[in-house]
Amino acid sequence: MGTRTFGGATILHFSLRLLASQLGFLVGPKGFGHYWKTHYADKTFEHLYRWNAFDTALLIPYFIVMIILAFYGIHRYQLVWLYFRNKKNAAKWTEPPMRFAEGQLPFVTIQLPIFNEQFVIERLIEAVCRLDYPRDRFEVQVLDDSTDETTGVARDIVERYAQGFVGMEPQPIVYLHRSNRHGYKAGALDKGLDVARGEFVAIFDADFVPPRQWVMQVIHHFAQPEIGMVQTRWTHLNRNYSFLTQVEAILLDGHFVLEHGGRSRAGVFFNFNGTAGMWRRETISTAGGWQHDTLTEDTDLSYRAQLVGWQFKYLQDVECPAELPIEMTAFKTQQARWAKGLIQTGKKILPRVLKSDAPWHTKLEAWYHLTANISYPLMIVLSVLLMPAMIIRSWQGYIQMLLIDFPLFIASTMSVSTFYMVSQKELYPKSWYKSIVYVPFVMALGGVGLTITNTKAVMEALFGVKSAFARTPKYSVKKKGEKSQAKVYRKRLGVIPWIEMAIGCYFAWTVYYAISTENFFTVPFLVLFVFGYWYTGLLSLLQGRFERSRDPDQEMHEKPYPVGI
């Protein structure tokens, strides 16, 4: 029988065997050393490759795109640096520099812009009517532009809360309905201001559930007369509903921790997010009011207000829960609207910013912020050029690929994983590591999977193509397995998911080619492209199919407005 002890001699023997196996892998006839020698140290074909016009025509745009994407990637690192460098400047709800005197709290108007939100409107109104604030200095406006059953549902709920019931005193709430959608959400907010009595205006979208103490946490920061807007952080009611909502939550956490946190702490321009924030009414009017020539009226007004001298605050420690889109088409609708709106706002606002007296670093940050979505069309160009460029670069020499292409890939892609992991560590210092498993999927979905829909949105913005404000459907679902009523607002699918599937197949072929030519360094990046395109394409095609198959007699509820991609 062999030894049954794990004494020093046995451990030494095991260690020597392990070391020998590792050395065998490195220097053996078929080990890594052989692979490196044959692929990167072999000089046999050195100097045989010659530049030609065709290769140059491919590589020039390839490197231009890679360098631009690398700059936007490096900017993510800069936001992380700004966030930590200026940590002492973080605003906290418990430490407002000034406070309103007791008994002299200002009048606040709560605006609830809704459009076909029949499944979530009661949850929203109940939460708002339970906000802790003196009722003699408080009013709620339900601004309804709905064209479906929501009108009746919302009107009945408002009447019920206005009259009061057991456990709820009569509330100062009114229902305002428009028969047209002129100006979309911006138009509804502007119309509500015509009759609003509040010196301050808080806005909540239909899928939000503001906590009871939200107004009191925010209002005292307006005791400083120069503060024009206060934004609070979104959290997620249905984060654990599905794999998709987990990835969406990480994407939004990165925005609300490092983008808002970094910009606000550094004192540069940042934006109101359209909801879960409060405005000084004077700020809205002096900045030119709500305008509807872009799809991100919130960002547009934010920049105009800061250009005329108003200061904004971001309270990262004040949370406001909201519902994440549970379907891929709804998520793509939301992201495409934001992508198009930011480019529209950039075209409109950036010339004013660049001509203003703002510091140069504020102008630079505004440029990065408002033009970031230009990376999506660039990703399309990269998708087309990646395979031929990889072949050409391999002929030119693998050392050049490692010294030039690889650092550019790292700058443009690895910054994504760093960015979102830092945000998770800030929010969840004890459990952030559990999110690591989602990092490849965050990169694949946020950086690749949305490329087609967001490119379409960006190009429409660049060429001035107008489109309606496409709402994001909400279904009031929180738990895994909970059945949604998605069929009511689901739109017929177009050709985009099939394009995504086709491009995914193209990249699957590039993975096969890279493996067959033993170009293993490029495989992880190519796999991200495959997964990103196939994941978004397949979910867009398949989501809801099983639900409809269980209920074949119920027809799709068609709507005369855009809700989806």
Contact 211, 126 (CB under 8 A): no
Contact 223, 210 (CB under 8 A): no
State the catalytic residue, choosing from 55, 144, 145, 190.
145
Contact 204, 322 (CB under 8 A): no
Separation between Cα atoms, residue 229 and residue 216, nearest integer Å: 15
Inter-axis angle of helices 328-355 and 297-307, nearest 10: 20
Amino acid at 282: E
Residues in Cβ contact with 221 at an 8 Å cutoff, skipping those fewer than 6 apart: 91, 93, 96, 227, 230, 313, 315
Identify the residue whose tokens are 């702490």: 265
The 3-class SS string of 185-197 reads: HHHHHHHHHCCCC
Tokens of 530: 């495959």
State the catalytic residue, choosing from 55, 207, 298, 405.
298
Q: Where are the beta strands (DSSP E) in 254-357?
A: 277-280, 311-322
What is the dihedral sign for C-alpha 349, 351, 356, 362?
positive
Tokens of 138: 């408080």
Q: β-pairing, 277-280 with 200-203? A: antiparallel
Residue 47 Cα distances to 51, 93, 395, angstroms: 11, 65, 10
**414, burial (CB in 10 Å: exposed 0-12, middle 13-18, buried 19+):** middle
Residues in Cβ contact with 121 at an 8 Å cutoff, skipping those fewer than 6 apart: 114, 142, 150, 153, 154, 157, 206
Separation between Cα atoms, residue 353 and residue 270, nearest integer Å: 13
| 207 catalytic residue (yes or no) | no
Residues in Cβ contact with 380 at an 8 Å cutoff, skipping those fewer than 6 apart: 451, 452, 455
Residues in Cβ contact with 547 at an 8 Å cutoff, skipping those fewer than 6 apart: 483, 484, 486, 487
Separation between Cα atoms, residue 189 and residue 505, nearest integer Å: 45
Identify the residue whose tokens are 């790292």: 410
| 553 catalytic residue (yes or no) | no
Catalytic residues: 145, 298
